C-alpha cells in the first residue's frame, strides 16, 4: 500500500470518527413499563407533530390527530412501541371539524342541540356546533361514521373528546331544549352514547369539566377510563386549588378501584411540571401504576415532550396510605423502594427523598 493510500485511509478513519463524535447521543433505554411507577400519555392532536418517536417506548398511550393520521402517526408510534396504546381522536360532543359527523349531516337530520330553538355554537370556540346526542339515530350515525373512517387502521381505541354534561351552558343561561338540567342531559344523552361507543371500541373519553362534575365519573367507569384535561392545573398553569385536587383524587380512585385508567394532563411543559405531575400521580395511584397515565402539555403535541430521570426510578409499592390533610397543599407517600415523595400543590413542586 502506497503512502498516499495510507494517508487516504487515515483521513477516512478520522472522518468516520468525527461523524460518530458529532452524532447526538441515543436516547437512554427505557425501563420496562412493568417497572415504571407511573405511565405517560401523549396528546398529539394538533396539526404540528413534534413527537420524538425514538422515545415512543416511554409513552404508554399516544393520541393521534384524527383518522387520517394512521400512516403519519399511528404506524410510526406502533412501530416504535408495538405494545403501546394508540388512540385516535374524535369529537363526540359537536358536529363539524374533527367530529364523527359533519355539520351538514347534523343539520339535515335535525340533530343539533338547541336553546329556545336556536343552534348552540361550541362554547369553547371554533366552527362546530353542539349535537343533541340523545336524539334517536345519533349514536347509530356516530358508530357508522367512526367505523367507516376507522377502516383497516390499527388503532387500539378511541379518544372521545368533548364528552360533556355541558354544565357550563346551564351556568350561562343556555339550557338545552328537551332537558331539565345538565344532569338530565348526562343521564339521557351523553352517558348512553358513551356506553354504546364502548360496546364497539375501547374508549377513553375526555370528560369536560370533570373536575367540577362528579356525575361524569360514570362516563369513565362505562368506558376504559377517562381523561382529566385539567389535572392539578388550569390552562393558565394556576393550581385548581386544594379542594379541586382532592376531588380529582376521588375520581382517580374510583377509576383505579374499578380497574379503569385515569389520564391526567398538567398544563405546563417544563421538566419541573412533569416531575410534579409524576409525583402527584404516584402518591395518588402508585398502588396501581399500570392504570395511571400523566402528561404535561400546553399545545397538545406542538411542543416536544420533556423528560425527567426520576421517571425511570422504580419506587416500588406504597408501604402505607396517602399522607394528606383535607385542605392542605401537602401530599406525601412512602414506597417500598426506600423513597418518600412529598408534593406541594401550592408551589407545584415534588421532592424525592
pLDDT at 28: 52
- Please give the mean pLDDT across all residues of the chain: 91
Q: Residue 169's pLDDT is what?
A: 96
Q: Provide the Cα torsion 187, 192, 198, 199; round to 10°.
A: 140
151-182 per-position pLDDT tens digit: 999 999 999 999 999 999 999 999 999 999 99
Structure confidence at residue 176 (pLDDT): 98
* Rounded Cα distance, 145 and 150, in Å: 8
Question: Each residue of 291-310: b (16+ CB within 10 Å) or e?
Answer: bbbbbbbeebbeeebbbbeb
- Sheet with 85-91: strands ordered across: 203-205, 157-161, 85-91, 61-64, 39-43, 292-296, 261-266, 225-228
Average pLDDT over residues 197-210: 97
> What pLDDT score does 125 carry?
83
Of the listed ranges 18-22, 80-84, 216-220, the one predicted with least confidence: 18-22
CB atoms within 10 A of CB 35: 13
State the Cα–Cα distance between residues 104 and 6, nearest whole angstrom: 74
Strands (E), 101-206: 114-115, 118-119, 129-130, 157-161, 203-205
**The pLDDT of residue 128 is above 80:** yes
User: Which of 253, 127, 237, 116 has the alpha carbon at shortest distance from 176?
Assistant: 116
Average the pLDDT over each of 65-79, 217-231, 304-318, 333-347 and give the range with the smallest value. 304-318
294 and 41 Cβ atoms separated by less than 8 Å: yes
Q: Tell me the pTM.
A: 0.90
Asked which of 9-23, 138-152, 194-208, 271-285 is least confident by mean pLDDT, the reply is 9-23
Q: Name residues whose C-beta falls within 8 Å of residue 281's C-beta, 6 or more positions apart in sequence.
A: 38, 264, 292, 294
Instruction: For residues 29-36, give the mean pLDDT.
Output: 67
- Stretch 235-240: mean pLDDT: 95
Write out the E strands in the chain.
39-43, 61-64, 85-91, 94-95, 114-115, 118-119, 129-130, 157-161, 203-205, 225-228, 261-266, 292-296, 330-334, 340-344, 349-352
- Quickly tell me which residue has 373519553 as its cell: 205
Q: What is the mean pLDDT of residues 271-297?
A: 96
Indicate the SS3 state at residue 188.
Answer: helix
Of the pLDDT bands very low, low, confident and very high (cuts 50, 70, 90), residue 312 is confident
Residue 20: pLDDT band (50, 70, 90) is: very low
Query: What integer pLDDT is reported at residue 6 of this predicted model?
Result: 45
For residue 31, name the pLDDT band (cuts at 50, 70, 90): low
Ordered domains of the chain (ranges, CATH): 27-306 (3.20.20.70)
Higher pLDDT, 78 or 10: 78
Flag the least confident range among 56-65, 163-172, 285-294, 306-315.
306-315
Comparing 33 with 208, the larger pLDDT belongs to 208
Region 3-12: what's the mean pLDDT? 49
Contacts of residue 111, Cβ cutoff 8 Å, sequence gap at least 6: 95, 101, 105, 131, 132, 135, 137, 138, 141
Looking at the predicted structure, is the pLDDT value of residue 2 above 70?
no
Q: Residue 97 has what pLDDT?
A: 87
Whole-number pLDDT of residue 207: 97
Q: CA distances (Å), 76 to each of 5, 70, 81, in order?
A: 44, 8, 9
**Helix/strand/coil percent split, the chain, to 5:** 40, 20, 40
Amino acid at each position: 500500500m502506497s503512502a498516499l493510500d495510507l494517508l487516504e485511509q487515515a483521513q477516512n478513519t478520522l472522518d468516520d470518527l468525527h461523524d460518530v463524535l458529532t452524532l447526538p447521543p441515543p436516547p437512554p433505554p427505557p425501563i420496562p413499563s412493568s417497572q415504571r411507577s407511573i405511565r405517560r400519555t401523549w396528546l398529539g392532536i394538533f396539526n404540528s407533530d413534534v413527537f420524538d418517536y425514538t422515545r415512543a417506548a416511554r409513552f404508554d398511550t399516544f393520541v393521534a390527530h384524527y383518522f387520517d393520521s394512521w400512516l403519519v402517526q399511528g404506524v410510526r408510534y406502533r412501530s416504535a412501541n408495538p405494545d403501546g396504546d394508540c388512540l385516535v381522536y374524535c369529537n363526540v360532543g359537536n358536529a363539524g371539524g374533527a367530529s364523527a359527523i359533519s355539520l351538514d349531516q347534523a343539520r339535515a337530520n335535525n340533530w343539533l342541540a338547541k336553546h329556545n330553538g336556536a343552534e348552540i355554537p361550541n362554547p369553547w370556540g371554533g366552527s362546530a356546533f353542539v349535537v343533541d346526542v340523545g336524539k334517536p339515530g345519533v349514536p347509530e350515525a356516530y358508530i357508522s361514521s367512526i367505523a367507516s373512517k376507522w377502516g383497516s387502521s390499527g388503532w387500539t381505541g378511541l379518544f372521545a373528546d368533548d364528552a360533556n354534561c355541558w354544565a357550563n351552558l346551564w351556568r350561562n343561561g343556555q339550557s338545552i331544549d328537551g332537558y331539565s338540567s345538565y344532569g338530565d342531559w348526562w343521564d339521557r344523552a351523553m352517558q348512553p352514547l358513551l356506553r354504546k361507543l364502548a360496546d364497539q371500541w375501547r374508549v377513553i373519553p375526555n370528560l369536560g369539566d370533570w373536575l367540577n362534575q362528579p356525575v361524569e365519573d360514570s362516563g369513565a367507569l362505562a368506558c376504559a377510563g377517562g381523561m382529566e384535561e385539567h389535572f392539578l392545573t388550569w390552562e393558565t398553569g394556576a393550581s385548581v386549588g386544594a379542594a379541586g385536587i382532592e376531588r380529582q383524587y376521588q375520581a382517580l380512585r374510583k377509576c383505579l378501584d374499578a380497574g379503569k385508567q385515569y389520564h391526567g394532563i398538567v398544563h405546563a411543559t417544563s421538566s419541573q411540571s412533569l416531575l410534579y405531575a409524576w409525583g402527584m400521580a404516584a402518591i395518588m395511584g402508585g398502588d396501581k401504576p399500570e392504570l395511571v397515565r400523566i402528561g404535561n402539555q400546553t399545545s397538545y403535541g406542538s411542543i416536544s415532550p420533556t423528560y425527567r430521570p426520576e421517571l425511570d426510578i422504580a419506587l416500588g409499592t406504597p408501604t402505607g396510605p396517602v399522607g394528606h390533610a383535607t385542605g392542605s397543599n401537602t401530599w406525601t407517600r412512602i414506597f417500598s423502594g426506600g423513597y418518600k415523595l412529598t408534593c406541594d400543590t401550592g408551589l407545584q413542586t415534588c421532592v424525592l427523598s
